[in-house]
Structure 1
């Protein structure tokens, strides 16, 4: 989440979120909703649960790469804050740059959610419901590892994902109601008001083609992982 720029500063609209980042965000949100729904329904819906799991694997792999080579404000280096800077932000002494991309507090949410989703996908690949579905990596590890992964995936991991998603949504509502800041539109069109002179994220044809190549490679990786075990589809 981000805070608003200081009102006294000259403002301009800046391209903060490049198109690949925005597509990733909404595709991940839709996939997580689908994963939760199919897990609750169970039965034949688990086929789609596995498919969506591979989609999320591809998306997370893409985000890890894009966090290194993506647009200015999508790179991890743009929101990898020190503890001191986080404390200053919480005390209301943040810098104007904190308001552009992910704020120090919002960065914690992003890293936390990515970490929890990575753990959930990894344990899903190692899980076995002992009925009809088993992750493609179960044959490479011991039964004890499969059991622990399955327990985490079904219980703690699920609640961690739901909890962080709920906190994310509540933060959006809080900023909209208490601070009169609408955070969602920027993730649609990519622009945010920022201090004059704020560098914009590169979002041209070359960048988008590069993102397409990265996305296809990550999709191929997810497909390859899906072929390592018994057919899940």
Structure 2
């Protein structure tokens, strides 16, 4: 049979993924080297990406939408045991991982205050100094938990590559995967206009937060 190129990930989602990878690495570097101004800007960039991803999870391509992959624990457990047929896009187990990363990252650092009170998150004025210090401690803890999720994510990719012979990295680069079952490729249904609207919304929300929720 003639191979069919099946779209898996739309371009906005792929850009989100790789930009987030780069920004997380840069945030780690800037934090470890006390380059706090760069760390702050990196955090804003991550917030921008996450707001867009939340929006894209509602109106983006088929595999990017939360309705496509966010399912109950029973479905995740069935997939883990191999009782559910693989589908394109996120599997039920991966869906929970994506949500966890989004929830963790969107809250990290917004209220944090350093020990001297010289560096703080954009929303630190809304909490007491002690609460800001607690948020700073939580920021470090949450980031370490995030590193654990990333390690689990990488391990899952290696597991699929070795045990199930599924290449998950290639589609995240090219956007598609080759099938040989003779099926017709199913389009993802993306829209440049919807993406542009999402970028404008993400920019507005990020600016609003960076200004401490003040215009």
Extract unaligned runs of 5+ from structure 2: none
Equivalent position of 1:190 in the other structure: 175
Equivalent position of 1:119 in the other structure: 107
1:223 matches 2:207? yes
Q: Would you say how many aligned residue pairs link Structure 1 and Structure 2?
A: 211
Equivalent position of 2:151 in the other structure: 166
> Counterparts of 1:20 and 1:89 in 2: how far apart (Å)?
27
What do residues 48-93 of structure 1 show as CA deviations (whole Å, max 9, x unaligned)?
1000000011111101110000001100000012222223222222
Contact 2:51 2:202 (C-alpha < 8 Å) held by counterparts: yes
The 1:125/1:87 distance shift into structure 2, 3 A limit, reads closer
> Counterparts of 1:76 and 1:92 in 2: how far apart (Å)?
22
Contact 1:16 1:100 (C-alpha < 8 Å) held by counterparts: yes
Equivalent position of 1:202 in the other structure: 189
What SS does structure 2 have at the residue aligned with 1:117? Answer: helix
Equivalent position of 2:131 in the other structure: 145
> Counterparts of 1:161 and 1:88 in 2: how far apart (Å)?
25
Contact 1:13 1:191 (C-alpha < 8 Å) held by counterparts: yes
What SS does structure 2 have at the residue aligned with 1:130? Answer: coil
Equivalent position of 1:77 in the other structure: 67
Contact 1:119 1:157 (C-alpha < 8 Å) held by counterparts: no
What SS does structure 2 have at the residue aligned with 1:182? Answer: coil
Residue 11 of structure 1, CA deviation = 6.5
Extract unaligned runs of 5+ from structure 1: 1-8
Equivalent position of 1:48 in the other structure: 38
TM-score (norm 2): 0.89
What SS does structure 2 have at the residue aligned with 1:99? Answer: coil
